Amino acid sequence: MRVPLTRPSVVAVLACGLMAGCSVATTTDDASVTDGGPRAAPWPERPVVEVSITMDEDLRGARGSQVIEFTPDDRTCEVVLRTWPNEPSSADEGTSLEITDAVVADEPVALSVQQAGAPEGLLGTVVELALPACVDAGEQVEVALDFRLELGETDEERVGVDSSADLAWFAGAVPVLAWERGEGWVRDKAVDLPGETATTEDFELASMTVTAPEEYAVLGTGSSTGTQAAGRAGWTEHRFEAPAVRNLAVSVGRFEVRTAQVDGVRIRVGVPAAGTRVGARRWLDAHVEYLSTLQEQLGPYPYDDLWVTVTPTRMSGIESPTALFYGNVGRRGLESLVAHELAHQWFYSLVGNNQARDPWIDESFATFAQAVATGTENDFDLDDIDPDVAGYLGYPMEYWDEEGDFDYYYEGIYEQGAAVLLAARERVGEDRFDATLRDYLRQHAHGITDPDDVEAAFEELPEAVELLREYGAFDGPATNFPFG
């Protein structure tokens, strides 16, 4: 049964005009978001990243530079970066990301590009840089890059542009370091499905500068540290920083922006100035509502900021740390969509996983949390699981890509995973299950988990572990995957 949405009664919001350097006014409603308690501290030796992005005047692309400092925990003779906009579903729409220059330890280095799932004849998703000399564990490496981002006209992806509305948005669209602690370089193939295949450690965003024409609003990642006039007349620099995030998201264009500040969390919602099916106020209210609900369920929201962008497109929702993108959806299903994407701030943003190998660890838990938050548990029942996907919960993205059907993937990972987790919660008791889940999130905050970690976290709830095992959650590709 769907629980009716309770609108916050005293959240005050102010619209921000689209003048140069405009700042969004905020008010505080301490009753609207529950204080979830202290946050987990990030990994002290996480990489440090500085990014500078300059938009094209027509917003159809950008040029950028990036500096990455990281300290590997094992010996390495190379640096591996992922260029995710080159995955099939984005590349087919004309989107691309190219590293045009690279310097390591003050020496220019050659680029070796591998397709890794990208369409033949187009730019690849893996870029390898040979180090001038191998480095041992604990030895710092600095990489400086220049890159070029092209944005395709798209209606489904996390990277795109709508020229008619003067809007651009892109997430995971700068080169990303592919190092995983204890594992080394991660080279999983991209797939031709609108699903993630990334494995990314937290990094400190020391600074991100986005330079755009002054008439456009800019929504970003982490905390805004202000604006200033750019060196080019009529352009503005927008600056951001974040203590620990896994990737970056930016949206630029003619947005109406509304904001609320509640218990220290700054929520900003940008909708196309030309209008949307659901107004900015309704989007803002929904995020305040479900941020409160999810904090009670999962623990403290991991960040100080939340940026929400609604685009004119048909896509549903896409998550990044501190930032969410939505399509121009209607009121039907809005609550579940918002709750799901917000839940990803805990599942993958706070606690990461190898999304190519173990997609269920973020998508199943996010769908489970969505169902609990919205009171729609009855929509996910073990008896309704399609026999064609039953028991395939632990299968990797490559399997679902081979099947070539997003609906099949959705049934196998989202719906099946939520049904299994909800049934486990009912068997062991809601309080015990939720407490164990919060402990799992605290223990693995700012790390990357695998099925063994999930199994260990729930070992004191054998009924839950047994049910997850029955549906294949702990069976990896080596035993179950039929494609080798």
- In this structure, the answer to whether residues 305 and 369 fall within a common structural domain is no
Q: Residue 2: is its pLDDT beyond 50? A: no
Q: Residue 243: is its pLDDT beyond 70? A: yes
The dihedral built from the CA positions of residue 276, 281, 286 and 287, taken in this order, carries a sign that is: positive
Residue 15 lies in a domain: no
Question: On the CB side of 172, how many CA atoms lie within 13 Å of its CA?
Answer: 28
Report whether 117 contacts 191 (CB < 8 A): yes
Number of domains in the chain: 2
- In this structure, the answer to whether residues 332 and 367 fall within a common structural domain is no
- In this structure, the answer to whether residues 178 and 305 fall within a common structural domain is yes
- In this structure, the answer to whether residues 312 and 242 fall within a common structural domain is yes
Report whether 61 contacts 147 (CB < 8 A): no
Range of weakest confidence among 146-155, 182-191, 203-212, 231-240: 146-155
Q: Which of 34-43, 63-72, 273-282 has the largest mean confidence?
A: 63-72
- In this structure, the answer to whether residues 405 and 261 fall within a common structural domain is no
- In this structure, the answer to whether residues 291 and 398 fall within a common structural domain is no
Residue 327 lies in a domain: yes
Percent of the chain with pLDDT over 90: 82
Residue 466 lies in a domain: yes
Q: Residue 429: is its pLDDT beyond 60? A: yes
Looking at residue 40, its pLDDT comes to 85
Looking at residue 19, its pLDDT comes to 32
**What is the pLDDT averaged over residues 374-392?**
96
- In this structure, the answer to whether residues 316 and 378 fall within a common structural domain is no
Query: Of the residues 316, 343, 370, which one is the last residue of a structural domain?
Result: 343
d(CA 326, CA 314): 9
SS3 per residue for the chain: CCCCCCCCCCCCCCCECCCCCCCCCCCECCCCCCCCCCCCCCCCCCCEEEEEEEECCCCCEEEEEEEEEECCCCCEEEEEEECHHHCHHHHCCCCEEEEEEEEECCEECCEEEECCCCCCCCCCCEEEEEEEEEECCCCCEEEEEEEEEECCECCCCCEEEEHHHCEEEEECCCCEECEECCCEECCCCCCCCCCCCCCCCCEEEEEEEEEEECCCEEECCCEEEEEEECCCCCEEEEEEEEEEECCCEEEEECEEEEEEEECCEEEEEEEECCCCCCCHHHHHHHHHHHHHHHHHHHCCCCCCEEEEEECCCCCCEEEECCEEEECCCCCCCHHHHHHHHHHCCCECCCEEECCCCCCHHHHHHHHHHHHHHHCCHHHCCHHHCCCCCCCCCCCCHHHHHHHCCHHHHHHHHHHHHHHHHHHHHHHHCHHHHHHHHHHHHHHCCCCEECHHHHHHHCCCCHHHHHHHHHCCCCCCHHHHCCCC
- In this structure, the answer to whether residues 123 and 238 fall within a common structural domain is yes
Predicted confidence (pLDDT) per residue in 101-132, tens digit = 999 988 999 999 999 999 999 999 999 999 99
188: left (phi over 0), alpha (psi -120 to 50) or beta: beta
Predicted confidence (pLDDT) per residue in 431-458, tens digit = 999 999 999 999 999 999 999 999 999 9
Q: Residue 17: is its pLDDT beyond 60? A: no
Q: Residue 12: is its pLDDT beyond 50? A: no
- In this structure, the answer to whether residues 333 and 392 fall within a common structural domain is no
Looking at residue 123, its pLDDT comes to 97
- In this structure, the answer to whether residues 320 and 375 fall within a common structural domain is no
Query: Of the residues 324, 343, 362, which one is the last residue of a structural domain?
Result: 343
Chain position carrying tokens 């990281």: 70
Q: Residue 319 sits in a domain of what CATH number?
A: 2.60.40.1730
Looking at residue 264, its pLDDT comes to 84
**What is the pLDDT averaged over residues 272-278?**
92
Global pTM reads 0.91
Looking at residue 476, its pLDDT comes to 54
- In this structure, the answer to whether residues 240 and 276 fall within a common structural domain is yes
Looking at residue 320, its pLDDT comes to 96
Query: Of the residues 311, 343, 375, which one is the last residue of a structural domain?
Result: 343
Looking at residue 475, its pLDDT comes to 77
Tell me the pLDDT of the chain averaged across its residues: 90
Residue 141 lies in a domain: yes
Predicted confidence (pLDDT) per residue in 338-378, tens digit = 999 999 999 999 999 999 999 999 999 999 999 999 999 99
Q: Which domain holds residue 393?
A: 352-480
Predicted confidence (pLDDT) per residue in 169-208, tens digit = 999 999 999 999 999 999 999 999 888 899 999 999 999 9
Q: Residue 483: is its pLDDT beyond 90? A: no
Q: Residue 479: is its pLDDT beyond 90? A: no
Measure the CA angle with vertex 83, ends 81 and 87; round to 5°: 135
- In this structure, the answer to whether residues 121 and 230 fall within a common structural domain is yes
Q: Residue 29: is its pLDDT beyond 90? A: no
Looking at residue 37, its pLDDT comes to 64
Looking at residue 85, its pLDDT comes to 96
